Structure 1
Amino acid sequence: MRVLLALGGNAMTAADGSATPDAQLAAVGVAMEAAARLVAEGHELVITHGNGPQVGNLLVKNELAAHVVPPVPLDWCGAQTQGTLGFAILDALDGALAAAGTTHPVAALVTRTLVDRDDPGFTHPTKPIGRYLAEDQAKAMVAHGQVWEDRGDKGWRRVVASPEPLEVVDVEPIRALLAAGHVVVAAGGGGIPVVRGDDGRLRGVEAVIDKDLTAALLARTLDADVLVIATDVDHAAVDWGTPQQRDLGRVSLAEMRRHTESGQFASGSMGPKVDAATRFVEGGGPRAVITSLTHITEAVEGGFGTVIEPEIS
């Protein structure tokens, strides 16, 4: 099967959230052991990944060095982290494949995602990113053209646009690499956000695209057989944190819609993952799964995790 594996940010850092280079490499190594199992089973594999902690690292460097060098824009941060994580994933996947007794060509592609230049988020940005700063520090960044908001006792925080992904611009190179037998790492962090000007040319913009929504879009575009959204729990659950909490196994698209409409999934955690999974199935995808890395192989076969299908017979 053709599998789109979307790795959450937890797959790129230590369990305690540490994002030191050693911690990131160790976490990526664990994730790639799971990915290698899929390849060893004979599946075609495309990997996407989060980059929140890595971009956050660059933003702190921007803030600390703003009086010396101009801050690096978000599209550049996305490109840099795609390159850094891409090479880390490739090294780890090569090693995991060798340990599994197989070899396979692997490639990472710096990937752009088209968004609407008229998206309302560009006029009224609402997506908070980075750390809180004191007012004087925040206003120093405002002087560089950034938008910051006063969040009360916590301090000031930067807000940016989070536009809807419309198209993965570099999908044809991804197809070519898959056709040549490669495992492909692409669209990290939701892709580098770009808009198309009146002259038809693309240019990067300051924005953050939801990585899971781009994963769903890419999975549909590539006619993937299954979208697997890997997170730190085995299942999505309803009535989370209450005595009535219940893990979801195989569910129909209609049932998952009902749970979403009743507010079961928090916008800051499981909500975006459920949204992406249901979008993939709504768009004609055969199956989407939300589960932990430990159970990736069973998830692809539909035997574990929260499995969303068009209908349940």
Structure 2
Amino acid sequence: MLLVVALGGNALLERGERPDAGVQQRHVRTAACALAPLASEHTLVLCHGNGPQVGVLALESENDPELTHPFPLDALGAQTQGMIGYWLAQELGNAGVAPPVAIVTQTVVDREDPAFGAPTKFVGAGYPEQEARRLAAEHGWTVGRDTAGWRRVVASPQPLRVVELPTIRRLVESGTTVICGGGGGVPVVAGEHGRLDGAQAVVDKDMTAALLAIQLDADRLVVLTDVDAVKQDFGTPRERTLATVDVAQLRAMDFPAGSMAPKVEACTWFVASTGRPAAIGALRDAPAVFTGAAGTTVTMSGSLE
């Protein structure tokens, strides 16, 4: 089977940890070991998050006195794709997966997407409110609060097309494990005569994974994160775990923007477009999430046939 797997940024850096290379590489090694059983039986296309890494590079760039202007977000996204792709490819190989290929991926977005006027995507480290507001004033950021604290918030437009899709498809057809769409892919906008230019945004990697899964005719979309499953009425006395749920039920529920909401949206998009199941669950349970023994399975009917 062909599986498109979206790997959350927590696979590389947990909340509150220092973004040191050694810390991230240790997490990548753990992720690779969790994914290796799936890769041994199926062809994988792996998309990964990069929010913490982009945030670190952006702050370094803003504070570099040698630069006339800081590096734009699209360039930083490309840098993190190379770094994280290298780590994942190396550790998957060390875990026994046939040599994977990492591709720096561009994702076309609409320059008129309303998301550019309403930033929702958190990137970088969390700060106390006063520090976050100081940085926002100093660097021209928009900031907001999530579970990690006060953080920078950027636009997250809808992915329309993955530029490198033909190459990814050929690699998949050869049985190669492909690492692509890192951080949702570098956001680019199309101009005259096919010209592409970088956009100052971060595309949600779950949505890009869903787009790839649809266009590659994948058998399953698997979204792996740091939570066990989708929770209805999360954080309330009515909270309950959803083991199997259908698209209509999910669309009638509300989920936190920037965290569970894009994961649910990506899965419902894939299932509604293909009629095939999607799953959301913890990285450590990856094989069980795929089979439906753990996590949340999303189907058209609400049951696995």
Q: Is the Cα–Cα contact under 8 Å of residues 14 and 23 in structure 1 kept in the other structure?
A: no
1:47-81 deviation line (CA, Å, top 9, x unaligned): 10000111011011012115644201000001000
Name the CA distance, whole Å, in 1 between partners of 2:27 and 2:120.
30
Q: How does 1:22-171 map to 2 (within 5 A)?
A: 22-40=22-40, 42-66=41-65, 68-97=67-96, 103-122=97-116, 125=119, 127=121, 129-130=123-124, 138=136, 141-142=139-140, 148-149=141-142, 159-171=153-165
Aligned to 2:296: 306
Name the CA distance, whole Å, in 2 between partners of 1:150 and 1:6.
26
Name the CA distance, whole Å, in 2 between partners of 1:296 and 1:281.
19
Aligned to 1:232: 226
1:253–1:189 distance in 2 versus 1, CA, 3 Å: same
1:285–1:135 distance in 2 versus 1, CA, 3 Å: same
Please identify the structure whose Cα radius of gyration is greater: 1
Aligned to 2:266: 276
1:9–1:141 distance in 2 versus 1, CA, 3 Å: same
Q: Which amino acid aligns with 1:119?
A: D
SS in 2 for 1:282: helix
1:207-233 deviation line (CA, Å, top 9, x unaligned): 111111111111111111111110112
Q: How does 1:191-206 map to 2 (within 5 A)?
A: 191-206=185-200
1:67–1:139 distance in 2 versus 1, CA, 3 Å: farther
Cα drift, residue 121 of structure 1: 3.4
SS in 2 for 1:283: helix
Cα drift, residue 194 of structure 1: 0.6
Q: TM-score, normalised by structure 1?
A: 0.86
**Count of matched residue positions in the alignment of Structure 1 and Structure 2:** 295
Deviates more, 1:17-26 or 1:62-71: 62-71
1:176-230 deviation line (CA, Å, top 9, x unaligned): 1112221000000000001110222111111111111111111111111111110
Q: C-alpha root-mean-square deviation of aligned residues, in Å?
A: 2.4
Name the CA distance, whole Å, in 2 between partners of 1:134 and 1:67.
24
Q: Which amino acid aligns with 1:51?
A: N
SS in 2 for 1:271: helix
Structure 1 segments unaligned to the other structure (5+ residues): 98-102, 143-147
1:234–1:128 distance in 2 versus 1, CA, 3 Å: closer
SS in 2 for 1:118: coil
Q: TM-score, normalised by structure 2?
A: 0.88
1:45–1:210 distance in 2 versus 1, CA, 3 Å: same
Structure 2 segments unaligned to the other structure (5+ residues): 145-149
SS in 2 for 1:194: strand
Name the CA distance, whole Å, in 2 between partners of 1:96 and 1:118.
43
1:207–1:66 distance in 2 versus 1, CA, 3 Å: farther
Name the CA distance, whole Å, in 2 between partners of 1:232 and 1:134.
25
Aligned to 1:100: none
1:249–1:135 distance in 2 versus 1, CA, 3 Å: closer
